[in-house]
Amino acid sequence: MSQARTAYYSEANLVNDSGAAGHFRRNRIFYVGGAVALAIAIALRIYQQTMSFSVGTDYYEPEFQTYWMSLLYIEVVVLSAIGIIGSVYVWFTRETDAASISPQLELSRYFKLLGVLSVIGLWAVTVAALAIESDASWHQVTIRDTDFTPTHIVIFYFAIPLLTAILIPTFIWTHTRIPAFMNRVSLPFLAVVCGIFMIMPNYGFNEWGHTFFYAEELFSAPIHYGFVVMGWSLFFLVPLAIQIIQRMAQLIAEVSKDDTAVA
């Protein structure tokens, strides 16, 4: 059997297998990526719980440089590698001929896209549950000496930027691998990426404001208004989901028909 024919059957089995094994193969990015995301979130939360009050209350202490700034430097390297290397890789390995992508391969790529977006969603929910409110609580009970605190190093310099570091390569991959997105730009997808990216300049403004003239951590403070942009950007997930699901429904019908014909 030719290599192309073997690939056809492999892709068809991937998208048509209704068993548990097929379900896991189609959604392995979510299961594996989700497990990794939860493990990282739990490990960071345990680290905060254990080290924050013992060596994290004073930026100017040597222990803070050892236990917290070292973590920050590692985070910067990891985020840069994911965002920059990932974007460059998916761009230089892009496909230029949408017609050469079979319906089976296209459908399998939609499952991969949904898997990545699901992992991102799981990470966002986990961070919101385990970390966001802890930052406000931290500033209510400790002195804000600099912009580098245990909660900031975990949330502002890793957890939220990680969303952007994953989304940008995913955006490029989607627009260079899936025919419905190639040679055009999905405005809902772009709005989601830009909205989440723009949260970073805003928390820079937020920290500047808190450091110099607004000590209270009220949710309704004017320096928090920009965070609403991230919430608004998530509304665009609805039209993005419609774009994805509509095309997947067409592909599933087409692939099922072709698989029946081959059988």
Indicate the pTM of the whole model: 0.86
- For residue 31, the domain's CATH number is 1.20.1050.50
User: Which range of residues forms the domain containing residue 163?
Assistant: 19-262
Is-contact 99 7, C-beta < 8 A? no
**Dist. CA 127–CA 131, nearest whole Å:** 5
Give the 3-state secondary structure of residue 147. Answer: coil
Per-position pLDDT tens, the chain of length 263: 444 444 444 554 555 566 677 777 878 899 999 999 999 999 999 999 999 999 998 889 999 999 999 999 999 999 999 999 999 999 999 998 888 899 999 999 999 999 999 999 999 888 888 777 788 788 778 876 678 889 999 998 999 999 999 999 999 999 999 999 999 999 999 999 998 898 888 877 877 777 777 666 677 777 777 778 777 888 999 999 999 999 999 998 888 876 555 55
DSSP codes joined into one string, 202-256:
HHHHHHHHHHHT-----TT-GGGGGGHHHHHHHTTHHHHHHHHHHHHHHHHHHHH
The pLDDT, as a whole number, for residue 260 is: 57
Residue whose entry in the numeric block shows the structure tokens 């209510």: 140
In a domain, 36, yes or no: yes
In a domain, 4, yes or no: no
Domain total for the chain? 1
CB neighbour burial string for 246-263, b if at least 16 within 10 angstroms, e if fewer: ebbeebeeebeebbeeee
Is-contact 58 64, C-beta < 8 A? yes
Is-contact 185 175, C-beta < 8 A? yes
Is-contact 79 161, C-beta < 8 A? yes
How many CB atoms are closer than 10 A to CB 43? 10
Shortest CA distance to 152 belongs to which of 39, 56, 54? Answer: 56
In a domain, 3, yes or no: no
In a domain, 124, yes or no: yes
In a domain, 42, yes or no: yes
The pLDDT, as a whole number, for residue 215 is: 63
